[in-house]
Amino acid sequence: MARVVVITPNPAIDVTYRVDVQRLGETVRVVDATRRAGGKGINVARVLHALGRPVMAVQPLGGASGGWIDDELAAAGIDTVSVPTGRETRTTVAVVDGRSHPTLYSEPGAALDDGVWRALESAIVEHCGPQDILVIAGSFPPATTALQVASLVAAGTSAGALVVVDASGEALVAAADAGADILKPNESELLEATGTSTLDAGLAALFARGAGCLVISRGSAGLIGASADGDRVAQDGVPGVSGNPTGAGDAATAGLVAALADGLPLPEALRCAAITGAAAVLAPIAGVIDPADLPRLAARLDGGSFPLALPTAYPPTPR
Amino acid sequence: MARVVVITPNPAIDVTYRVDVQRLGETVRVVDATRRAGGKGINVARVLHALGRPVMAVQPLGGASGGWIDDELAAAGIDTVSVPTGRETRTTVAVVDGRSHPTLYSEPGAALDDGVWRALESAIVEHCGPQDILVIAGSFPPATTALQVASLVAAGTSAGALVVVDASGEALVAAADAGADILKPNESELLEATGTSTLDAGLAALFARGAGCLVISRGSAGLIGASADGDRVAQDGVPGVSGNPTGAGDAATAGLVAALADGLPLPEALRCAAITGAAAVLAPIAGVIDPADLPRLAARLDGGSFPLALPTAYPPTPR
């Protein structure tokens, strides 16, 4: 089975603080604190693992927080290559009170030394083969250059892997310039990165730069797939799913990639993405899915079945 | 020289997030994140170490964050006994924007097992002698009983040490019940813990329970010392000091304790507390002092000198 190598350039410990009422300028008692290894790529790797796929999570990590992430991924049974950075891995803090929008404090993270970038490229070359898929997902550390983004894409391409990039801003543009096979921003990231105001203009801008295929996630509205030669596929979202949308885009990426790894064509892969994303919305913890939800979500979407073989042991190790 | 053993029952990594503007319900970019080992007791230990005093910091610690605190204290050159809890040590997050009051998110921490309480008592018995001082400072973990607080006080008393407690709420009352030698709440903690509305009534309530001596810190207004037999001493604060008051109370405790360890009488120890607390207000980092500030703050207070011998190497190891 094709392996998926997932690069998370700027991982984090994602902390969630539940509080009674959000307030500014006061001491706010945290009712409950939860921590998990985060960053889009790590979320993608976690869902691929839940889908029973061979996955290798590759990320720069440092300090006590980096060690904590390493331990958490190991406890989840996910194969990892962690490149030591010598700097404390960042944290994000989401404050939720169940009444209003969460407040998210996002540390920028530390810039990576040249040696770390080279080690990430080496890990790609070592672990990616011609049948494999390389996913590069999430934010990049401060001071990342377009060349550094392009070098990761090039390492995957030269290894013969299919390269999928879920990024935003300058990194998304750099990945298009580097000829990534599939770019998967959401709609607002596409418009922001390209400075355009319509989906068509955004797609055209990235195709002009060298992107092979674009998959645009649109939340509950589903996904759109577009190729440089003008083909366009629209996939509806699963209707009537409500819950926690955080991490649903990452689960959709995992569903897309798992289907592509099985050799399914893009329309069927988009359908898997929509179903897997909906499963993440249903699950109480952000970015986690229960594979047992997938067959009935597939039936609700269009009366069909979920096309991928699923692991027989439900549920996956709870985290 | 008498040793000071400092118990921090509920230590934390104190994180400070500097942001441009505090907002709720949005993604807020953290401009700068700083972390340090915190909890009142650890702050007291750090200032005693800066004053050149033999100090032993004793605290329950667990997980990656506990390991981080252990490493930080070791790097600062502070002797420690860290009792493993098996649970991740808590974090506090202060969000500051330089415009309005900081917002502080305070995790409650995890309850301690009986074995951890016994190990803390054993550490007191092992490291405290009749010439020594035991300081118990800061919040207590959830589910702490009055008996557990009393057992820490009793361990210090039975070792022959002078027992100083800086606590609030039920733990302050429990320490009074247990006959702690010196209680050092601030004025609002005294009133809240005793359910009284005047300083005199609050003092009387704790003396009635068994407190030996009370030192009440009042910020820039100085300190009041009171003994069970009715003696009362008022010490002015150092005038004209502005800066960061966070941690000044902990520095004052350290100054008080260092003076008592030298055998100075209470009025002179209160004077040291006022000067050391003012030095913490001057320093840019919460709860840190530069001993070089102490002689001139003493002169500003009353034209006198700082009565304690200071280390000759200024400044202490920067953290």
pTM score of the predicted model: 0.85
CB pair distance less than 8 Å for B33 and A100: no
**Tokens 């985060």 belong to which residue?**
A38
B221 pLDDT higher than 60: yes
B243 Cβ contact list (under 8 Å, min separation 6)? B281, B282, B283, B284
Q: Which of residues 51-110 of B touch A (CB under 8 A)?
A: 63-65, 67-68, 71, 88, 90-91, 93, 95, 100-108
CA dist., res. B107 & res. B125, Å (int): 30
**pLDDT of B305:** 96
**pLDDT of A280:** 94
Q: Could you tell me the two tokens for B247? A: 């941690």
Distance from CA of B167 to the nearest CA of A (A): 17
The number of beta carbons lying within 10 Å of the beta carbon of residue B133 is 25
Residues of chain A found within 8 Å of residue B95, distances taken between Cβ atoms: 105
**pLDDT of A139:** 95
| Contact status, residue B18 vs residue B32, Cβ threshold 8 Å | yes
Q: What is the mean pLDDT of residues B254-264?
A: 97
| Contact status, residue A190 vs residue A203, Cβ threshold 8 Å | yes
Reported as a pLDDT band with limits 50, 70 and 90, residue B51 is very high
Nearest chain B alpha carbon to A63: B68
The number of beta carbons lying within 10 Å of the beta carbon of residue B21 is 10
Angle, CA of A57, A13 and A63, to the nearest 5°: 85
Chains A and B form CB pairs within 8 A to the count of 90
Reported as a pLDDT band with limits 50, 70 and 90, residue B245 is confident
CB pair distance less than 8 Å for A24 and B103: yes
pLDDT tens digit sequence for A234-292:
999 999 998 888 889 999 999 999 999 999 999 999 999 999 999 999 988 777 899 99
**pLDDT of A99:** 85
Q: What is the mean pLDDT of residues B119-144?
A: 97
pLDDT tens digit sequence for B283-311:
887 778 999 999 999 999 999 999 999 98
| Contact status, residue B13 vs residue B105, Cβ threshold 8 Å | no
CA dist., res. A57 & res. A41, Å (int): 8
Q: Could you tell me the two tokens for A174? A: 């750099």
CA dist., res. B29 & res. B40, Å (int): 29
Distance from CA of A101 to the nearest CA of B (A): 4
B263 Cβ contact list (under 8 Å, min separation 6)? none
Q: What is the mean pLDDT of residues B162-183?
A: 97
**pLDDT of A319:** 45
B230 pLDDT higher than 60: yes
Largest CA distance in chain A: 57
- Give me the residues of chain A with pLDDT under 70, please: 313-319
B314 pLDDT higher than 70: no
Report the residue of B15, B30, B99 to disrupt the A interface, i.e. the one with the largest count of A CBs within 10 Å: B30
Q: What is the mean pLDDT of residues B110-120?
A: 97
Nearest chain B alpha carbon to A19: B105
Among A51, A73, A78, smallest CA distance to A254 is for: A51
**For chain B, counts of helices (H) and of strands (E):** 10, 13
B313 pLDDT higher than 70: no
Residues of chain A found within 8 Å of residue B17, distances taken between Cβ atoms: 93, 105, 107
Q: What is the mean pLDDT of residues B21-30?
A: 92
pLDDT tens digit sequence for A175-207:
999 999 999 999 999 999 999 999 999 999 999
Map residue B134 onto helix, strand or coil: strand
